[in-house]
Structure 1
Amino acid sequence: MNTALAVSLSSVLLVCSLGWAVLRPSGRSEALVAVPAAVLVVVLGAISLGDAREEAERLGPVIGFLAAVLVLAHFCAVEGLFTACGAWLARRAAGRPRRLLTSVFALASVITAVLSLDATVVLLTPVVFATAQRLRVRAKPHVYACAHLSNTASLLLPVSNLTNLLAFTASGLSFTRFAALMTLPWLVAIGAEYLVMRRFFAADLPAATEAAGTEETGEAPRVPMFALVTVAATLAGFVVASAVGIEPAWVAFAGALVLAVRALVRRQAGPVEVVRAAAPGFLAFVLALGIVVRGVVDNGLGDALGHVLPGGSGLLALLGFAALAALLANLINNLPAVLALAPLAAPAGPGAVLAVLLGVNIGPNLTYAGSLATLLWRRVVHGHEERVDVGEFTRLGLLTVPVSLAASVGALWVSLQVV
């Protein structure tokens, strides 16, 4: 197949795969279109079978890691971790919307960083809705915070986001060095989001409501210490594994196995639920999408991006990498964007790869289509009969994204000089 035809075919299949993933008619799996598209890319000769196998081998550990983290987050919910989080939010806020927003920012940032952005979108967002209703405050600012932080707060650890896992692999960094370099950008980006959001939703955040100062009645839900200890041990295991050269996926698998076995023994779940928690359809979608993106990159997109990518790793170059990544994420979604850009940025050093990561994680807060997490969040919000206005979402993104992105890139440059 000639190059022009190959890139056209791959591009059409990529658009179809992403379009299906965005719409998901009747809740059907994202893989239903992406997997046949990946097969067509190979069968019709857009890429060779060897290249497809190479891409699958590259993504294999990432997909295994993702599966384990999804299971870990699911069984943390089974243990009651998110119920306890909701009770903490209500007690901490005591009827004060501004204090509730601060608490949501803190909790969502930690949950996103430790248990991945999917936990914030799927498990924490309903808790925030219930807490706002219980306190008789407007849910909108706090729910929007969940959406933005599922992207922005996923910068800290390789486990926080699928894009992080891909960038982590391309960067060649250890787990601990990745976290050390991203700590300051993570804090700065979250702080920028908070300041802008407080101003944007000022009318929805009165100093107090009628419920201010009242205490929650009833017995507080127990804190699931077993789940907390397992998560803490898993995080410690990532650090140790990185130091001795063990794949972090094995540590994530161990943590997920502990909680899954406990749930099976206590009959809180069955084997089918464990498999469903790993989201096999989504894992197949990620693998297939990687192969389709490889077809687009190898047949023209890679060369085109290579001409516009900045050189070096200075502050202006890092800003260029991040801006291009944010733009591409909003055009074709952040997952294909990082698949395309991370290998091209790698020769410029880990700083360039991390700048790309800033772009593909913060940039999607501008549009619904920027990340699958935002699309999933929109479904959760609609399920609670909350109106989400695309104009309002975009206006908020236009305010938060440039500020958060520029500030976090500056923080990354500082981290690269210091760490």
Structure 2
Amino acid sequence: MSAAVIAIAVFAVAFVLIATERFNRVAVVLVAAGLVAAMGLVGGEEIFYSHHSGVDWSVIFLLLGMMIIVGIIKQTGVFEALGIWAAQRSGGRPYRLLVLLMVITAIASPFLDNVTTIMLVAPVTLSVCRRLDIPAAPYLIAEVLASNIGGAATLIGDPPNIIIGMRAGLGFNDFIIHMTPIVIVLFAVFVVMARFMFRKSFVYRPERMDAVMAMDPTASIKDRGLLVRCLVVLALVMAAFSLHTVFHMDPAIVAMLGAGLMVAVSGVKTSDYLAEVEWSTLVFFMGLFVMVGSLVETGVIAHIGEWAVDVVGDDYFVAATGLVFGSAVLGAFFDNIPYAATMAPIVEGMVAQAPDATTGQSLWWSFALGADLGGNGTALAASANVVMLGIAARAGQPISFWQFTKYGIVTTVVTTIIAWGYVWLRYFALA
């Protein structure tokens, strides 16, 4: 049996076991990662040091840094205050509250990475849902889907965009011009879709709303001095995220520096903020990266890309179509960060053969749209999805693989079809 077949088999079995939810997902990926490593499908040097097929330490340390920052901010009580404010602004009406939280998420996602956005918005969501005594799952799921859509708008909003921008030489303004218009359309469509997708989950409790309306949000702030210091550090971190392409500083470094500064100015006990770190989520990502690395090292993903190149030939509309839908499908089953890193060189080769710059760029935008929107396909398709599941489980409101995926698949299908129409209209029909 070839190494590629074994790698595919291990990945497929692990994915099915995670989807069935009969086994702990962290245990599954650790066993799978151990198997591919023990069989030599991916070596120790690749696991620990290869940016192409190993553990993406930038993602791990970005998550760790932001978890520490959020853990310290949580001590101030500001999330409770924001939760009360959101409940009061929405009047407790489920759809109005859902739209409010989605808009906040979608506005933040293009300027922060979507993982950071979810880590900041999720605690507020859990607080407001607890106050109103309503299930948090539909709101958390909608926020992640909105974050993955909104993050596609800019260079820094979604990790695949950063990878694509670096490989293609595309800047922040390029993404604003080419991606933001369709993202606005997709988000508007998703707001309408959410009204129907989550309607059975909406709960309105007027008796709880009366009590919430009588509350003073600012009374939830435990330490105003600590809050001011934390917000100053958070503002610096957010500014550094937005300007990381100017300063050429990796977002993970920004997050870790911000975490260190937050620890220094807050005086919060180490045990308090480390207790808020989602250690199981970090370990899950490490195992998942190793599993995907085995597919990279055995040539599985490269063969898929080469096959796609051979199929499309010189028909660049077919190539763009394949990149939109193919990336959405593959991105739904593989974390879209290693997927984008693996496919980017293949797309670069296709672009190099394009007859003109417009056609060549259409392939990059098709690739970006497919990879970003595919992140909504399943619960494991994007880092933000996995982080949200971990936060929900820790809060005692676990969300199952299929509970997320049934909404994610519908969202991915609809948004990908619209994105494909945009690619056809802008880069082929009107070019």
1:96·1:209 contact (CA, 8 Å) conserved in 2?
A: no
Which of 248, 251, 256 pairs up with 2:259? 256
1:260·1:274 contact (CA, 8 Å) conserved in 2?
A: no
> How many Å apart are 1:165 and its aligned residue?
4.6
2:150·2:183 contact (CA, 8 Å) conserved in 1?
A: yes
2:152·2:369 contact (CA, 8 Å) conserved in 1?
A: yes
1:360 corresponds in structure 2 to 371
For the pair 1:83 / 2:80, whether they are aligned, the reply is yes
Inter-partner Cα distance in structure 1 for 2:26 and 2:280: 16
Inter-partner Cα distance in structure 1 for 2:52 and 2:86: 40
Which of 195, 198, 203 pairs up with 1:198? 195
Distance 1:275 1:104, change over 3 A: closer
> How many Å apart are 1:304 and its aligned residue?
2.7
1:184 corresponds in structure 2 to 181
Inter-partner Cα distance in structure 1 for 2:338 and 2:244: 28
2:355 corresponds in structure 1 to none
1:65·1:252 contact (CA, 8 Å) conserved in 2?
A: no
> How many Å apart are 1:116 and its aligned residue?
4.2
2:343 corresponds in structure 1 to 341
Could you report, residue by residue, the CA deviation over 1:160-186 in whole angstroms, capped at 9, with x for unpaired residues? 545445444444434564466433343
> How many Å apart are 1:328 and its aligned residue?
1.8
Could you report, residue by residue, the CA deviation over 1:232-290 in whole angstroms, capped at 9, with x for unpaired residues? 33343345442354545443443333224334x44355796698769653453354234
2:415 corresponds in structure 1 to 404
3-state SS in 1 of match to 2:170: coil
1:68 corresponds in structure 2 to 62
Deviates more, 1:350-359 or 1:193-202: 350-359
Q: Which amino acid aligns with 1:406?
A: I
2:216 corresponds in structure 1 to 218
Q: Which amino acid aligns with 1:307?
A: D
Distance 1:131 1:53, change over 3 A: closer
Inter-partner Cα distance in structure 2 for 1:226 and 1:176: 33
Inter-partner Cα distance in structure 2 for 1:38 and 1:413: 41
Could you report, residue by residue, the CA deviation over 1:181-227 in whole angstroms, capped at 9, with x for unpaired residues? 43334333222211111234456669995637972413524484444
For the pair 1:33 / 2:31, whether they are aligned, the reply is yes
Inter-partner Cα distance in structure 2 for 1:19 and 1:415: 39
Could you report, residue by residue, the CA deviation over 1:343-383 in whole angstroms, capped at 9, with x for unpaired residues? 32233256534433322332353444544654664566576
Deviates more, 1:188-197 or 1:9-18: 9-18
Distance 1:413 1:280, change over 3 A: same
1:293·1:336 contact (CA, 8 Å) conserved in 2?
A: no
- Across the aligned residues of Structure 1 and Structure 2, the Cα RMSD in angstroms comes to 4.6
2:148 corresponds in structure 1 to 151
2:233 corresponds in structure 1 to 230
3-state SS in 2 of match to 1:365: coil
Inter-partner Cα distance in structure 2 for 1:247 and 1:393: 31
3-state SS in 1 of match to 2:213: coil
Inter-partner Cα distance in structure 2 for 1:240 and 1:324: 32
- What runs of 5+ residues in structure 2 fail to find an aligned partner? 352-359
Inter-partner Cα distance in structure 1 for 2:426 and 2:212: 43
Inter-partner Cα distance in structure 1 for 2:316 and 2:424: 9
Please give the TM-score of this superposition, normalised by the length of structure 1.
0.74
Aligned residues: 408
Q: Which amino acid aligns with 1:363?
A: G
> How many Å apart are 1:326 and its aligned residue?
1.5
2:308·2:322 contact (CA, 8 Å) conserved in 1?
A: no
2:97 corresponds in structure 1 to 100
Deviates more, 1:57-66 or 1:399-408: 57-66
3-state SS in 1 of match to 2:215: coil
For the pair 1:306 / 2:312, whether they are aligned, the reply is no
Deviates more, 1:240-249 or 1:275-284: 275-284
1:155·1:182 contact (CA, 8 Å) conserved in 2?
A: yes
1:112·1:150 contact (CA, 8 Å) conserved in 2?
A: yes
Distance 1:271 1:90, change over 3 A: closer
> How many Å apart are 1:310 and its aligned residue?
7.2
1:95·1:137 contact (CA, 8 Å) conserved in 2?
A: no
2:52·2:342 contact (CA, 8 Å) conserved in 1?
A: no
Inter-partner Cα distance in structure 2 for 1:151 and 1:292: 26
> How many Å apart are 1:135 and its aligned residue?
3.2
> How many Å apart are 1:5 and its aligned residue?
1.0
